């Protein structure tokens, strides 16, 4: 029996050393990851920009399998999003844990700037905002010897000051630490202390092809900081990395597991159909070798790939997500709105979701009636059935593939004079076009959008069984390279009215999101 257990142990050990790490570990629009560990539990947050609720928070036991457990900012008092687009709203957050309290610090660009919130349970509730004096995006925190330090990057310089973590009051003047190695937009600063050194990790190059992570260190928290001669410590903008599907690697956060191993979470994007990315910046993971007194080495100095031979932590799978929503249950944390929602425009009536026509279209971007979720797989299906009998000429309701307010494609029922049509309409920057339009009998239909990562295909059915493909378009048209924006594709339901009588609404029977 003892020999058998030994053999089993050796086999399990071999399985671990030959493990495969698939990136991204959190796919789809999940940029700017920050992570903390409390015991055996890891908690990770991402940027959310113009969407509400904000700052999704994930839990994991192994850094590979992540479960969405909530959103840090789930009240309008915490998250005012007036006029926010994907260029504004919530930029890179940092999460830290100190003496029984979780801290999340971030920037609301366009609505008051830097603030932090606190909680004793990462699932919430989180406090009201504690507003901060030092500005610049991507703020971070470091706790040591009863002091709380804040860093951010105004004027392309990483600044450090001491603050009161309870009130946010700044206690010391802001002092410059480092401007990086010369890459544009030094940002995303984090401080770590190891072996008597303070290490300052930042991003440079902009969150695009030339994105990279660089690092400097000092014996004193206020510096002077000396750059790593081997910078950058992470980039795929290199001879070895340029051919990978994963590009734009950067904006990371180190974490040490209970077994002593070091890891880094960071953002990257995947190209589809050439040099285009439509799913947004995603959360990736890589191992770090960090020997005593030495500089950290990410992934052995090799570029990041979608599949890497990496000995991961023991795997703890999480429950798979539901793919079918019939609106009989409350909305889960994966559901998001564009800006702060107008509550009375979202009703549940007889097991259906009733969306009332907002006064704003998706393009006008003034709290439009929209609810959806991130597209987290290149190959997916999204489907719904709706009744749009309560509509007037020019009103619309249906599905949308949405990247930004001036970059989205809508698959809808549209009221016409005495009739109803099914249409595919797109907004590509200043160009608005109807790509398909066909009159239907009645006022209801099933709408379906499928994707294989290269093309979106739009199909409709009047009986819920036999679908007709009416249009196909390249996913690249919804990419950051074409329509701009910082985020990634989201898919969801919307309703808008052309008139001002407020009577328009659409009833949705279900929403199906299925990854292939």
Q: Determine the length of the chain.
A: 516
Provide CB contacts within 8 A for 110, sequence distance 6+.
82, 83, 84, 88, 89
Chain-centre distance of CA 321, in angstroms? 17
DSSP 8-class letter at 242: T
Q: Are 225 and 207 in contact (CB under 8 A)?
A: no
CB 152 within 8 A of CB 136: yes
Please state, as a whole number, how many other Cβ atoms lie within 10 Å of the Cβ of residue 341: 20
Q: Is 439 exposed, middle or buried (0-12, 13-18, 19+ CB in 10 A)?
A: exposed
Gap between the Cα atoms of 445 and 460, Å rounded: 7
Annotation marks residue 121 as catalytic: no
DSSP state letters, 426-466: EEETTEEEEEEEEEESSSEEEEEEEEESSEEEEEEESSSSS
C-alpha to C-alpha distance for 450 and 227, rounded to whole angstroms? 47
- How much of the chain is in helix, strand and coil states, percent to nearest 5? 5, 50, 45
H/E element holding 9?
A: helix 2-17
Instruction: Tell me 16's DSSP state.
Output: H
Helix, strand counts (H, E) of the chain: 2, 39
Q: Which of these, 365, 360, 335, 309, lies nearest to 495 by C-alpha position? A: 360
Q: From 357, 427, 363, select the one nearest 390 (Cα to Cα).
A: 357
Distance CA 121, CA 123 (A): 5
Determine the Cα–Cα distance for residues 323 and 328; give it in Å rounded to an integer: 14
The rounded distance, in Å, linking the Cα atoms of 214 and 450 is 39
Residue 329: burial class (beta carbons within 10 Å; 0-12, 13-18, 19+): exposed
**Known catalytic residue at 204:** no
Q: Is the dihedral of CA 454, 26, 87, 180 positive or negative?
A: negative
Provide CB contacts within 8 A for 3, sequence distance 6+.
none
Active-site option among 138, 187, 282, 410: 187
Terminal-residue alpha carbon distance, the chain? 43
CA separation, residue 273 to residues 41, 322, 396, 500 (Å): 37, 29, 31, 42
Cα 437 from Cα 458, distance rounded (Å): 12
- Hey, which residues are catalytic here? 32, 187
């Amino acid at each position: 029996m003892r020999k058998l257990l030994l053999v089993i142990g050796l086999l399990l050990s071999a399985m671990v050393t030959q493990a495969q790490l698939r990136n991204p570990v959190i796919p789809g629009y999940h940029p700017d990851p920050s992570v903390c560990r409390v015991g055996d539990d890891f908690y990770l947050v991402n940027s959310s920009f113009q969407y509400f609720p904000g700052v999704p928070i994930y839990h994991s036991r192994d850094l590979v399998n992540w479960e969405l457990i909530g959103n840090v900012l789930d009240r309008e008092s915490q998250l005012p999003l007036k006029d926010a687009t994907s260029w504004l709203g919530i930029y890179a957050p940092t999460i830290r844990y100190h003496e029984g309290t979780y801290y999340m610090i971030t920037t609301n660009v366009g609505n008051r700037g830097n603030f932090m919130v606190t909680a004793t349970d990462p699932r919430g509730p989180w406090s009201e905002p504690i507003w901060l004096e030092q500005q610049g995006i991507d703020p971070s925190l470091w706790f040591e010897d009863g002091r709380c330090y804040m860093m951010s990057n105004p004027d392309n310089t990483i600044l450090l000051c001491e603050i009161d973590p309870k009130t946010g009051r700044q206690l010391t003047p802001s002092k410059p630490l480092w401007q990086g190695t010369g890459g544009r937009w030094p940002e995303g600063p984090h401080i770590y202390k190891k072996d008597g050194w303070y290490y300052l990790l930042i991003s440079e190059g902009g969150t695009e092809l030339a994105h990279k992570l660089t690092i400097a260190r000092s014996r004193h928290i206020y510096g002077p900081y000396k750059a790593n001669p081997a910078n950058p410590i992470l980039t795929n903008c290199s001879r070895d990395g340029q051919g990978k599907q994963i590009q734009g690697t950067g904006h990371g956060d180190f974490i040490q597991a209970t077994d002593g191993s070091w890891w880094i979470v960071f953002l990257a994007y995947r190209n589809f159909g050439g040099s285009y990315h439509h799913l947004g910046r995603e959360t990736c993971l890589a191992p770090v070798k960090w020997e005593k007194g030495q500089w950290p080495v990410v992934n052995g100095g090799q570029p990041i790939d979608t599949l890497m031979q990496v000995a991961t932590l023991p795997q703890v799978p999480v429950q798979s997500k539901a793919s079918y929503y019939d609106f009989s249950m409350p909305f889960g944390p994966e559901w998001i709105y564009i800006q702060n929602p107008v509550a009375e425009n979202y009703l549940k009536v007889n097991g259906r979701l009733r969306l009332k026509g907002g006064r704003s279209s998706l393009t006008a971007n003034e709290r439009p009636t929209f609810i959806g979720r991130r597209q987290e797989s290149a190959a997916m299906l999204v489907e719904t059935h709706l009744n749009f009998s309560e509509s007037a000429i020019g009103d619309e309701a249906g599905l949308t593939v949405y990247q930004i307010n001036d970059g989205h494609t809508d698959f809808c029922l549209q009221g016409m004079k005495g009739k109803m049509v099914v249409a595919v309409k797109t907004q590509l920057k200043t160009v608005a076009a109807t790509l398909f339009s066909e009159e239907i009998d009645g006022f209801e239909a099933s709408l379906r959008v499928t994707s294989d990562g290269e093309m979106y295909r739009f199909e409709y059915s009047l009986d819920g069984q036999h679908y007709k493909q009416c249009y196909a378009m390249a996913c690249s048209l919804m990419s950051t390279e074409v329509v701009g924006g910082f985020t990634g594709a989201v898919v969801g339901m919307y309703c808008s009215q052309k008139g001002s009588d407020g009577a328009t609404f659409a009833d949705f029977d279900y929403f199906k999101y299925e990854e292939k």
